[in-house]
Chain A
Amino acid sequence: MIPIKDASGIARMREACAVAAYVLHELKKHVKPGVTTYDLDQLAKELISSRGARSACYGYQIGDRRFPAYTCLSVNEEVVHGIGSMKRVLRDGDIISLDIVVEYQGYIGDNAFTVAVGQIPPAVQKLLDVSQEALALGIAQARVGNRIGDISHAIQTHCEKNGFGVVRDLVGHGVGVEMHEEPQIPNFGRKGTGAKIRPGMTLAIEPMVNLGTHRTKCLADGWTIVTTDGAPAAHFEHTVLTREEGPEILTVPPSV
C-alpha cells in the first residue's frame, strides 16, 4: 500500500522537507578543496540539530548494521551512502553527492545534490547536467493518473540517450513517516507500468547516474556503493508531493 498523506500529513511533510532543503543548501556552500567529508558531516549534524530535527541517516539499520554518519557523502566513483571520513579530503576536480535526510516532528524530508569541487572535466559536468535534467523530467511525470513506471522511463531514457549508465541496484522510494515507504521508484523501467499515482503521495525521486557502466558494488564498510569501473557517478534527489494540479517539489531551497 502506498501511504496517502492527508492535509496535516502534507503540512508536516512540508516542514520536514524545508529543513532538509535548508541543510542541503547550507552544506553546499562549504564544499571546497581541502575540506574533509568528516567536516561536512559534522557541519550537517549541527545544521540539522539547530533546526530541532534529527538525522534519519544516523543509526539507519539494515540487518544488524547501523549507518554511522549523519549524512551520506559520496565522492566521485562513490554513488551513494558514502560515510564522512577525516581521510577523505576534497580536491579540485572532485564531485560530491550530499544526501540529507531529516526527521522533523515525525515526518521525513529527503533530498540530495551533487556538487562540483572547483574545476571539473567537461564530461563530468555533462554527467551532472544530464542527471539533474533527468530528475526534472522524472518529477514532471509524477502526475496524478500516471504510473510510477512513467517516472522511471523518463529518467532512464534521458540518461541513456546521453550514454550514461543508470544504477539498477538502488531505487527511489516513497517517504513520509518512514524514510522508505512504498512505492519503490526505479530509475529504469517501462512506461505505463507500476502503481498508479494518486493525490497525496510523497515520493523521493532520485536518479543515480554513472559516467560509465551502470554496475555498482558495495565497499567493505557495508554501506558505500561505488561504480565497478571506478568512473564518477551523480545523484540528485527531491521529495515530491503529487497533487491534482501536478507535482510539487517539497524540498525547495530556502532562497528560492
Chain B
Amino acid sequence: MARKPDAGFAFAGGFPATLLQARILDEWLDARDESLDAVIALSPASARGELADYYRTHGLLLEASSVDNVFRP
C-alpha cells in the first residue's frame, strides 16, 4: 500500500495571534500526528510577548536575524 508523501505547509500573517490559539493549533496538529518545525518572528516586536515566550520555551522561535538559516537546507 503506497504512502502519501509528507507535505509541508506554512502559516503566514497573524495566526496564531494569541496564546489560546497557539494551544489549540498544537492540539489540532497533535491529533494529526504533526508538529511545528519552527516559528519565525519577523520583527523584534513580534519576538516579545507571551506568544513569543510560549514558542521560545518550546525551542521553536527563530528571530529574523537567523531567518536566513531557516531557508537553507
Write the residues of chain A forming the contact surface with B, with a CB cutoff of 8 angstroms.
56-57, 60, 62-63, 67, 72, 80-81, 99, 101, 110, 169-173, 179-180, 184, 186, 206, 208, 225, 235
The chain A residue with its CB closest to the CB of B6 is A184
Q: Which residues of B47-69 are within 8 A (CB) of A? A: none
Q: Which residues of B24-40 are within 8 A (CB) of A? A: 32
Q: Does B3 contact A (CB under 8 A)?
A: yes
Interface size on B, residues (CB 8 A): 7
Q: Does B8 contact A (CB under 8 A)?
A: no
Chain B residues contacting A173 (CB-CB under 8 Å) are 2-3
A81 and B1 form a contact (CB under 8 A): yes
Name 12 extra pairs, CB < 8 A, besides A101-B1, A172-B2, A173-B2. A60-B1, A62-B4, A80-B2, A99-B2, A171-B5, A172-B3, A179-B1, A180-B1, A180-B3, A184-B5, A186-B5, A208-B2
27 sampled A-B residue pairs with Cβ under 8 A: A56-B1, A57-B1, A60-B1, A67-B1, A72-B1, A80-B1, A81-B1, A99-B1, A99-B2, A169-B4, A170-B2, A170-B3, A170-B4, A170-B5, A171-B2, A171-B4, A172-B2, A172-B3, A173-B2, A173-B3, A179-B1, A180-B3, A184-B3, A184-B5, A184-B6, A208-B2, A225-B2
Interface residues of B, dominant DSSP? loop
Write the residues of chain B forming the contact surface with A, with a CB cutoff of 8 angstroms.
1-6, 32
The chain A residue with its CB closest to the CB of B5 is A171
